[in-house]
Amino acid sequence: MAKVITRFPPSPTGFLHIGGVRTALFNYLFAAHNNGVMYLRFEDTDKERSKKEFEEDILNAIRWIGIPYETQPIMRQSEKLDVYKKHLMSLMERGVAYEAEAAENDPSKKVIRFKNPNISITFHDAIRGEVTFDTTDLGDFVIARSIDEPLYHLAVVIDDHDTGVTHVIRGEEHISNTPRQILILETLGFTRPEYAHIPLILAPDKSKLSKRHGAVSANEYRTQGFIPEAMLNYLALLGWNPGGDQELFTLDELVKLFTLDRVHKGGAVFDIHKLLWFNHEHIKRLSDEDYASRLKEFSGKDIDPRLVPLLKMRAQTLAEAATALTDEFGFLGEISYDPSLLLQGGKLNAEVSANHLQAVAELLHNVPDEGFTAEQLKDIVWPYATDQGRGAVLWPLRVALSGREKSPDPFIVAALLGKAESLARIARAIKNL
RNA sequence: GGCCCUAUCGUCUAAUGGUUAGGACAGUUCCCUCUCACGGAACAAAUCGGGGUUCGAAUCCCCGUAGGGUCACCA
């Protein structure tokens, strides 16, 4: 069997969105599963709408997300206009394409139309089986604006042939484009690739996912603190499933398992909650070092390594972790708080609380520096707190140490602060009462 | 509207003729707990409708219905 070649051909007329990422992913997965390659090329025949910045955005997004691709031998359609021209001329010489009066806007300009044989086309779709269209209703469709300006249907067919594409895996919206591409390709004498039209990613209202439904650009997810592992995992499972109950996969595992026959036919609604869950699961699986460096890159802040396990457990996204750094975990720096917070807004008694703090301070005082760990501290303070009422003891203690309404438990905070600082903060709290 | 595609819990899905229709996310309740998280447990929740085929249908066929895609000198 010939080497499997797939392709991901975005047009640089907008940012790479989530649906495009999944199309690229399926193309890669299928190719890699079969020891093939996926080519990326830009379909920039629309000169007005194609922008260099979009090319960069797309490349950045695809690199960030980590889908491997190759850009050879064709990077841009605009770089091989002469090839399309040659085919266009031969098509016209053969009389299967012709120059026609332009109906729209500029009547002085002529377009090139394909002479439709008006036949019925049946093609095989790896996901849907046999699909039949009557091409009569297509009419003599336009394949080029002029001899030097080919249009999409002509260009794809030629590129796919020139790069030896064996499998065209693309969104369902292209299913009705397929017959006219087959018409062109067969008059050009090319062989048909295998087609696979994958289901659309839908918005909660079941319509095609678009900007008005919130974030759709892949890079937006990056800035929201999602990690590539989670994006890939989640997207792979939208419209495909290997069977069974396992949900967490690495890219390599997906490559091993991916087959077209398990791709669904119906569209799948994009659910941000589930993506969040995948993100957290993959974050929890990152090594502390890896996580710390990603969070540093994301937030621009240095991360205290002792905080890393806590952050991983607590935050579903890097953005959340970055916020927590100054929020729940801000106690590592200077703290200032309203003393009434020590009494839980007046629910506790000042004198009693001060006594508890004093008692705890004495307990902590006797702990040696090297034993000042969260576990140790809990062992020492817990019996006292349980005896005296945990809320009455632990709340003022935690606030005294963290200065915050919400934070990790007081033992963790104290251990992080160290003995001297913890004692100092407790003393200050007692004075404030 | 024409053409095409599709149809299992709210959502992603498993079950490829035989299961009390399974799992996950979200939801609710409970436990853990000084707070916030984390974690644990439980509950609730589906085969679009109607006809066939078959001993037996979520699964195969037909008809409805509903949803979606597409009908460019965009891709």
pLDDT at position A364, please?
A: 96
Decide if A254 contacts A230 (C-beta within 8 A).
no
So what's the ipTM on this one? 0.95
Smallest CA–C1' separation from A49, nucleotide = B74
Angle at A116 between CA A111 and CA A117, to 5 degrees: 155
A321 contacts A311 by C-beta, under 8 angstroms: yes
Reported residue count of chain A is 433
Query: Do A243 and A376 fall into the same domain?
Result: no
Query: Active-site residue numbers of A?
Result: 211
* Phi and psi angles of residue A150, each rounded to the nearest 5 degrees, phi first: -70, 155
Asked if residue A189 is part of any domain, the answer here is yes
- CA of A179: how far to CAs of A125, A183, A255, in Å? 12, 6, 30
Answer yes or no: is A332 within a domain.
Answer: no
Q: Give the residue with minimal CA–C1' separation from B10.
A: A204
Chain B footprint bases within 7 A of protein beta carbons: 2-8, 10-15, 22-26, 33-38, 67-75
Q: At what angle do helices A419-432 and A350-365 cross, to 10 degrees?
A: 160
Residue A422 is encoded by which pair of tokens? Answer: 């913890």
What is the model's pLDDT at position A238?
Answer: 96
Same domain assignment for residues A319 and A351: no
CA distance A111 to A98: 8
- Determine, yes or no, domain membership for A334: no
Which nucleotide lies closest to A284 by the C1' atom and the CA atom? B38
Tell me which residue range forms the domain holding A344: 339-432
Q: How far is the CA of A302 from the C1' of B71 (A)?
A: 55
- Same domain? For A153 and A245 the reply is no
Q: Which residue is nearest to nucleotide B2 (CA to C1')?
A: A137
Are A109 and A102 a contacting pair, CB within 8 Å?
yes
Q: Helix A419-432 and helix A390-402: axis angle, to 10°?
A: 110
The integer distance in angstroms from the CA atom of A409 to the C1' atom of B37 is 10
Judgement on whether residues A30 and A165 belong to the same structural domain of the protein: yes
Nucleotide nearest to A394 (CA to C1'): B34
CA of A245 to C1' of B21 (A): 15
Beta strands in A135-256 (DSSP E): 142-146, 149-150, 167-171, 194-198, 201-202
Q: What is the pLDDT along chain A (433 residues), one digit of tens a residue?
A: 689 999 999 999 999 999 999 999 999 999 999 999 999 999 999 999 999 999 999 999 999 999 999 987 768 999 999 999 999 999 999 999 999 877 666 666 789 999 999 999 999 999 999 999 999 989 999 999 999 999 999 999 999 999 999 999 999 999 999 999 999 999 999 999 999 999 999 999 888 887 777 778 999 999 999 999 999 999 999 999 999 899 999 999 999 999 999 999 999 999 999 999 999 999 999 999 999 999 999 999 999 999 999 999 999 999 999 999 999 999 999 999 999 999 998 889 999 999 999 999 999 999 999 999 999 999 999 999 999 999 999 999 999 999 999 999 999 999 999 999 999 999 999 999 8
Specify if A73 maps to a domain.
Answer: yes
A137 and A70 in a common domain: yes
Same domain membership, residue A414 and residue A352: yes
3-state secondary structure A3-49: CCEEEECCCCCCCCEHHHHHHHHHHHHHHHHCCCEEEECECCCCCCC
Of the residues A172, A202, A232, the one at which a domain ends = A202
If asked whether residues A309 and A420 sit together in one domain, one would say no
User: Which nucleotide lies closest to A112 by the C1' atom and the CA atom?
Assistant: B73
Q: Which of A179, A202, A225 is the last residue of a domain?
A: A202
Asked whether residue A333 is domain-assigned, the answer is no
| Residue A295 shares a structural domain with residue A352 | no
C-alpha span between A255 and A68 (Å, rounded): 12
State whether residue A168 is helix, strand or coil: strand
Cis preceding linkage at A73, omega within 30: yes
CATH code of the domain in which A67 resides:
3.40.50.620
CATH assignment at residue A263: 1.10.1160.10
Question: What is the distance in angstroms measured between the alpha-carbon CA of A65 and the sugar C1' of B13?
Answer: 24
Tell me the CA–C1' distance in angstroms for A127 and B56: 29
Does one domain contain both A116 and A173?
yes
Instruction: Assess whether A131 and A218 both reside in one domain.
Output: no
Instruction: Give the global pTM.
Output: 0.95
